[in-house]
Each structure stands twice: as structure tokens, then as C-alpha cells.
Amino acid sequence: MSQATIADQPQLRRPSRLRLVDAVYHSLEEAILAGRVRPGERLVETAIAQQLEVSRTTVREAFLMLERRGLVVSKPRRGTFVTRLSRDDALDLGYTRALLEGYSLIVGYDRLDDEVLARLEAHLAEMRACRLPDDFPRLVEIDLAFHQAVVDCGRSSRVAELWRTLNGQLGALYLRGVEEQRLTIDGLTALHGQLLAAIRSRDPRVALDALIDHYVRASERGPGSLRGVAVEEVIRALVPRAIAGDAVDS
């Protein structure tokens, strides 16, 4: 393999203001989420250190931070690569988020008041204004903020903590969507708009149906799709208690 040069590497924003390793991390994160580095592509430590005029140790620490967020993967004796999320991993991530968010939606349904709905609407408007690929990092932040508003209504610190541990992988999930040419601003806003409209209905059954559609596609809920079916049935089991008025703990 020929020696990589600075010219071979993506154009990165120079670090400034923040703690140096944090600045390098954000520069790399931005390049990855904006699509300037593709899933599966190798990040060359030496070349990046030269381009940003920082030490290799700083770059190495930034790589570790990115790995904790699920954006890169380190392979022994091979190097560090931008994460390419497998279909199984993508499905598993969606299913786990659906279970945690479904619980929060029902337990905190009475807390989804006008203030929360206005916040969701504002996030949707922000999402609609994004343009790919430049606004990719911002788009991930908006998506997280949208769903965080729902999770927070559940008022369960443990559920919220579990949900936040998945946040770092959302960028990798988005990257998979871009790579498969399935991710568009119109599609994302329509998907989130449907969920918001269902929540506005004030009907728990409608809201949970929309949540299932948001995370579990129809093709994953048919015969032979055990995980998708299981997720749907677990979430739907929450509906009777919600309708009975037992959703909110006293």
C-alpha cells in the first residue's frame, strides 16, 4: 500500500477554541457526517495530524471518542475506518429505540402538552430547512432533539440514560441511509411529521401505531421477522393500560 499523503485525506476544519482533542473530534465528526469521508473509508492518523497540525496522540484520542460514538471502528493492524452499519445492526438499533420510546410515550402521554408539541413542531421546521450533505451533522442533532422531547416525558432517568447510549450510533444509521440513497430531507420530514400528527391526535393507540411505523417497517413485521413482530407486540401491549388511564405513575 502506498504512503498516504495530506492530499489523500478529506478537507477538515481547523481546530479552534475548544480543548484541542475535542476540536479535532468535532472536525472529524463533521467530515464524516457531511459525507466527505464515506462509510468503510480509512482515516490515516499521520496525515490527519499533519493537516490539522496536532500530535498523533491527539488524533488517536479523537479516534477513541469517535469510536465510543459508533462513528468509527478500529481494526487491529489495519487502522481506523468510518463505520459501515450492517443491516442487522441498523434494525437492532431501530428496534431498541422503538421499545424505549414506546414506553416513554405511554408513561408520559399526559405530559405531551402544547409546550412539548410546539417544541416538536419547531424541530420539524428546523429539519425541513436542512440541506444535504452540508447540514448532515445538524440534521442528526435535530433528530435526536425531536425524539429526546418524547423520551423526556417518560420521566425515567434510567430509560433516558439507556436511550442516550444509542445516540452515537444514529449518525452511523444516517450514513447507511445516505449510502443506500434512501435518506432525503423530504422523506425525513414526512416521517417525523406523521409521528407528530399522531401524537397531536391525543389517542395513544394512534400514537403508538405511528411510532411502530416510524421504527419498524412493514416488511419487518411479517412472517419470519421474529424481532420486528416481537417489538410490535410488546409496544402494542402498552395500549390497553394507556386507554384505561393508567399510563402515568402517581
Residues 72-117: pLDDT tens digits?
Answer: 999 998 999 998 888 888 888 889 999 999 999 988 988 999 999 9
Q: How many domains does the chain have?
A: 2
In this structure, what CATH number is given to the domain that contains residue 12? 1.10.10.10
Backbone φ and ψ of 42, nearest 5°:
-85, 140
Query: From CA 250, how far away is CA 248, in angstroms rounded?
Result: 6
Phi-psi region of 80 (alpha: psi -120 to 50; beta: other; left: phi over 0): beta
65, 82, 99 - which closes a domain: 82
Give the number of other CB atoms < 10 A from CB of residue 15.
20
Confidence at residue 232, expressed as pLDDT on a 0 to 100 scale: 85
| Alpha carbons 127 and 140: distance in angstroms, whole number | 9
70: containing domain: 6-82
What is the per-residue pLDDT across 199-241, written as a single tens digit (0 to 9) for each? 999 888 899 999 999 988 765 766 657 888 888 888 888 766 6
State pLDDT tens for residues 132-167: 777 887 888 899 999 999 999 999 999 999 998 888
Q: Same domain, yes or no, for 12 and 117?
A: no
73 and 92 inside one domain: no
In-domain check, residue 17: yes
In-domain check, residue 250? no
Start-end of H helices in the chain:
20-33, 45-52, 56-68, 87-107, 114-129, 136-152, 157-165, 168-179, 185-200, 204-215, 226-236, 239-243
The total number of residues shown for the chain amounts to: 250
